């Protein structure tokens, strides 16, 4: 298989510009990367550097009236940029899934979790309601959610942020999409459930060949999960390298500063004994 054939997602010369009352402003520019089957690309950078805008542009979720998206976004050889909303709705969830940064914004408050989960599955498959419910329960078990049968009857406000995030991850992963875009997927989770969710994403990647774009400020998560890492600064990718190369021998000054900003446990200091 050739290099181009192994790419499930290719982003070329992505440029996002938004119109405001103060004139046009560039959010991201000259973004180039590819995602290969079964691989994880980590996208890192400080808040406001353009990571989420890049993700939203790929999914065609930016406001089409105020925002202009130039460049090429190819999913399995099909161009996404410029597709109508009806066509994109068929692709989102089935071929390319999105785990949002804020789980509270991902659900409609007037419908139960079960209604939203089951309808998402049925909109992309020929399954009946019973089959979709069984898949939903199985997917929720994979992300360590207790009593999923009962949780399906709850409304979003009845679940904590961490539980909603795990439901969202379950929805994103259950149909084994070609690409999963995970925007800070472990932000609202405790350490135990972080590990569980990352393990589940890694299982989806290895078993079904899903490519993952992992957007995170947590360099520990990136080091654990990513095969390659792209570093963003001020709307541009300033460095892209293999995960080991980037952490061991960063080339760009911004990457070096980012890595040096990590919290380090001072093991050489004397231990304080509490009585």
pLDDT in tens, 83-124: 999 999 989 988 999 988 777 788 999 999 999 999 999 999
User: What's the pLDDT score for residue 270?
Assistant: 52
pLDDT score recorded for residue 160? 86
pLDDT of amino acid 220: 86
Biggest alpha carbon–alpha carbon distance for the chain: 67
Residue 185 has pLDDT above 70, yes or no: yes
* Region label for 119, one of left (φ > 0), alpha (ψ between -120 and 50) or beta (otherwise): alpha
The stretch 156-181 carries a mean pLDDT of 90
How confident is the model at residue 204, as a pLDDT?
A: 85
Reply yes or no on whether the pLDDT at 239 is more than 50.
yes
User: Do 180 and 156 contact (CB within 8 A), yes or no?
Assistant: no
Residue 267 scores a pLDDT above 80: no
Burial class from Cβ neighbours inside 10 Å (0-12, 13-18, 19+) for residue 249 reads exposed
> 2 falls in which pLDDT band (50, 70, 90)?
very low
Beta-sheet strands, E only, within the chain: 7-20, 23-36, 40-44, 67-75, 78-79, 96-99, 179-183, 211-215, 228-233, 236-242
Whether the predicted pLDDT of 197 surpasses 90: no
pLDDT at 268: 55
Q: Indicate if the pLDDT at residue 3 is higher than 60.
A: no
Domains in the chain: ranges and CATH: 37-65+84-257 (3.40.50.300)
pLDDT at 1: 43
Mean pLDDT of the chain: 88
pLDDT digits (tens, 9 = 90+) for 114-141: 999 999 999 999 999 999 999 999 999 9
pLDDT at 104: 79
Question: 174: which residues sit within 8 A by CB, 6+ positions away?
Answer: 121, 135, 136, 138, 139
**Percent of the residues in the chain that have a pLDDT greater than 90, as a whole number:** 62
Residue 241, pLDDT above cutoff 90: yes
Q: Give the model's pLDDT for residue 103.
A: 78
Indicate if the pLDDT at residue 275 is higher than 60. no
Please report the pLDDT score of residue 156 as a whole number: 94
Residue 271: DSSP 8-state: P
Q: Give the rounded percent of residues in the chain with a pLDDT score beyond 70.
A: 93
pTM: 0.88
Paired with 236 in beta bridges are 233
Instruction: Output the pLDDT for position 4.
Output: 43
Amino acid 49: pLDDT: 92
**Mean pLDDT calculated for residue range 198-223:** 89
* Higher local confidence (pLDDT), 264 or 78: 78
The whole-number pLDDT of residue 269 equals: 53
């Amino acid at each position: 298989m050739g290099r181009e054939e192994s790419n499930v997602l290719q982003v070329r010369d992505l440029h996002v510009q938004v119109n405001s009352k103060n004139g046009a402003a560039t959010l991201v520019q000259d973004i180039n990367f590819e995602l290969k089957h079964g691989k994880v690309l980590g996208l890192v950078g400080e808040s406001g550097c353009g990571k989420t805008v890049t993700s939203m542009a790929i999914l065609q979720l930016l406001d089409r009236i105020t925002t202009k998206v130039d460049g090429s976004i190819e999913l399995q050889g099909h161009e996404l940029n410029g597709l109508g909303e009806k066509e994109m709705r068929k692709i989102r969830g089935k071929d390319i899934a999105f785990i949002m940064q804020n789980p509270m914004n991902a659900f409609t408050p007037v419908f139960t979790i079960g209604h939203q989960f089951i309808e998402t599955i049925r909109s992309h498959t020929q399954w009946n309601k019973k089959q979709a419910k069984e898949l939903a329960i199985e997917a929720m078990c994979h992300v360590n959610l207790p009593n999923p049968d009962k949780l399906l009857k709850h409304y979003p406000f009845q679940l904590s942020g961490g539980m909603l995030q795990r439901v969202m991850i379950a929805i994103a992963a259950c149909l084994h999409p070609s690409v999963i875009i995970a925007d800070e997927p472990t932000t609202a989770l405790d350490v135990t459930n972080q590990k569980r969710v990352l393990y589940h994403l890694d299982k989806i990647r290895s078993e079904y060949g899903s490519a993952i774009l992992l957007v995170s400020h947590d360099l520990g998560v990136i080091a654990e999960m990513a095969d390659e890492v792209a570093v963003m600064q001020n709307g541009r990718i300033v460095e892209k390298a293999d995960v080991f190369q980037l952490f061991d021998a960063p080339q760009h000054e911004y990457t070096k500063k980012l890595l040096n900003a990590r919290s380090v446990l001072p093991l050489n200091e004397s231990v304080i004994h509490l009585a």
